Amino acid sequence: MKILLINTPRSPENRILEFAPEAAKPFIHKRLIGPPLGLMTIAAAVKDHDVLLFDTKGEFDLSSEHPSLTALVKKLVLEFRPDIVGSTAITSELYYAWEIFTEAKKIDPGIITVLGGLHPTLLPYDCFHPSVDVVCPGQSPHVFREVVRSLDKKTTLNAIPGILLNKGHGLVRTAGKPLFWDAADADYLMPDREPLKRWISTYKVGGSPFPSTYIFTSLGCPYKCTFCSIWPQFKGKYYQRTVESIISELQLIPDYPVVRFADANTVVDLDFMNTLFDRILEEGIRKTFIMDIRADVASKHPGIIRKMAKGGLKVVICGFESYRDEELKKYRKSSPASDIAKAIGVFHDNDIMIRGNYVIPNDYTEDDFRAIEDYSASNPVVYAGYTILTPMPGTVFYKQVKQEITDYDYLKYNFFNSVMKTALPYEKFHERVGSLWLIKKGKDVI
């Protein structure tokens, strides 16, 4: 079978950037960079077939003169002539998956389209669209393999448990539950980065001359923050990879001196991280590591931070979210505001650059903005990022504020646009969030 996997482009909607003061604009995130780990894993699952993986994010970053998405899909489909087109979608990119599938089917109505990823996992029925034939929720490389096998052998897809099939009037789930796929451990599939070589020059962060890649050491998260999509994606479970499989993967990627851990939360099991970094040092693996670490972990366990710094940890992204305990409690962050200052101290003691991220709720008034400005300016973080507290569909927060949502355009669900009524006038609110980026400004895209 010929399988074309297309990574969706990113949503350009960014009201923070649009309304920010000119001076702040250079510092606001415009894009995040990284290879599509999910699709790379899907490609690895069907490697016995003829697979073409195309990263539109990388392609659009290569040149500002890039063709439109439909023109690009048309060219790919006409040249490759796939039997199956697959794509992946987070919430803000769902419409692009539909656009890709619509164009593919326009050229060849016989193409079967398959959608997977975070949004289809959280809200599979929400993915209904005339262009979508099959939805595969969850960690589903094995399910996709079955779909391909069934299409190849021309057997019915109804026999594959737990997928959703487009029956014209809507998506209908097939009977049964798919077999558990131990994506992090026994069934881990090493992503093949070779097909991404074309875009390697675009995978650079923070002014580094070296390309970066993502690897995950775990999936899911044991915490339950109300605004977060990740723990619902994994139904609250946390899966850890083995130390040796991570070591092998790190040894296989000499082209990527910078490695960002794609974990929701990298340091959960301290013994695991201790062993991993012992092995990294033992094997002489020299890379710059970037990871997400919670403030409470750093403040309570400075020893592990010291160990990781020795092994190459240079940049940490820390979701501060808020400096107010009442807000942190509301978000179920399980980490008091006092941990922030302690964590900053630990990271700085170990020469680790830290980006602290805050989420700004829609009800912030001028006084609240002034208060966060004072707080953020007073702590010694190198970089800080400020995004909007967004009710991502499928989260607890979405259910809590459903009645207050005013905008259901998924393109805006990327943390850069308010989709709820704001206390300040709409434009002013985004302008104020934008102006926060002037504090601790850094042009990197971490």
Contact residues for ligand SF4 (CB under 6 A)? 221, 223-225, 228, 230-231, 264-265, 294, 319
Compute the least distance from the CB of residue 263 to ligand SF4, in Å. Answer: 8
Contact assessment for residue 35 and residue 214, using Cβ atoms and an 8 Å cutoff: yes
Residue 411 interacts with ligand B12 (CB under 6 A): yes or no: no
415 binds, among ligand SF4, ligand B12, none (CB under 5 to 8 A by kind): ligand B12
**Closest separation in Å from C-beta 215 to ligand SF4:** 17
| Contacts with ligand B12, 239-258, as mask; x by CB under 6 A | --------------------
Between 91 and 350, CB nearer to ligand B12: 91
Q: CB of residue 319 vs ligand SF4: minimum separation in angstroms?
A: 6
Find which of ligand B12, ligand SF4, none residue 73 binds, CB within 5 to 8 Å per kind.
none
Contact partner, 118, from ligand B12, ligand SF4, none, Cβ < 5-8 Å per class: ligand B12
Give yes or no for residue 139 binding ligand B12 (CB under 6 A): yes
Convert residues 161-200 into a mask of x (bound to ligand B12 by CB under 6 A) and - (unbound). Answer: ----------------------x-----------------
Can you tell me which of 21, 23, 26, 31 binds ligand B12, judged by CB under 6 A? 31
Query: Which residue in 216, 231, 331, 397 binds ligand B12 (CB under 6 A)?
Result: 216
Partner from ligand B12, ligand SF4, none contacting 140, C-beta within 5 to 8 A by type: ligand B12
Q: Could you say which of 6, 20, 24, 36 contacts ligand B12 (CB under 6 A)? A: 36
Query: What does 288 interact with, of ligand B12, ligand SF4, none (CB < 5 to 8 A by kind)?
Result: none
33 interacts with ligand B12 by CB under 6 A: yes
Residue 347 CB neighbours (<10 A):
27
The rounded radius of gyration (Å) of the Cα atoms in the chain is 22
Provide CB contacts within 8 A for 64, sequence distance 6+. Answer: none
Asked if residue 142 binds ligand B12 (CB under 6 A), the reply is no
What are the DSSP calls for 225-259, one per residue?
-TT-SHHHHTTT-EEE--HHHHHHHHHT-TT-SEE
Q: Residue 446 in contact with residue 35, Cβ under 8 Å? A: no
Q: Is 114 one of the binding residues for ligand B12 (CB under 6 A)?
A: yes
Q: What Å distances lie between residue 168 and 43, 86, 413, CA to CA?
A: 28, 19, 27
Locate the DSSP E strands across 303-377: 313-321, 353-360
- Partner touching 32 among ligand B12, ligand SF4, none, CB below 5 to 8 Å by kind: ligand B12
Alpha-carbon distance 277 to 401, whole Å? 42
Q: At what angle do helices 338-349 and 302-310 cross, to 10 degrees?
A: 30
- Which among ligand B12, ligand SF4, none contacts residue 54 (Cβ within 5 to 8 A by kind)? none
Binding site partner of 213, from ligand B12, ligand SF4, none, Cβ cut-off 5-8 A by kind: none
Q: How far, in Å, CA of 124 to CA of 115, rounded?
A: 9
Q: Is 113 in the site for ligand B12 (CB under 6 A)?
A: no
- DSSP 8-state secondary structure symbol assigned to residue 405: B
When the beta carbons of 138 and 312 are compared against ligand B12, the nearer one is: 138
# residues near ligand B12 by CB under 6 A: 41
DSSP string, 262-320: --SSS-S-HHHHHHHHHHHHHTT---EEEEE--HHHHHH-HHHHHHHHHTTEEEEEEEE
Nearer to ligand B12, 46 or 276 (CB): 46
The two structure tokens encoding residue 176: 């049964």
CB 203 within 8 A of CB 34: yes
Q: Are 122 and 233 in contact (CB under 8 A)?
A: yes
Residue 90 touches ligand B12, criterion: CB under 6 A: yes
Q: How many CA atoms lie within 13 A of 149 on its CB side?
A: 12
Helix (H, G, I), strand (E, B) or coil at 92: helix
Which entry of ligand SF4, ligand B12, none binds 100, CB below 5 to 8 A by partner kind?
none
For 201-223, give the DSSP string. GG-B-TT-SSBEEEE-SEEE-S-
Stated length of the chain: 446
Toward ligand SF4, which CB reaches closer, 112 or 392? 392
- Collapsing DSSP to helix, strand or coil, 35 comes out as coil
Binding site for ligand B12 (CB under 6 A): 7, 10, 29, 31-34, 36-39, 41-42, 57, 86, 88, 90-92, 114, 116-118, 121, 136, 139-141, 144, 183, 214, 216, 229-230, 262-264, 392, 414-416
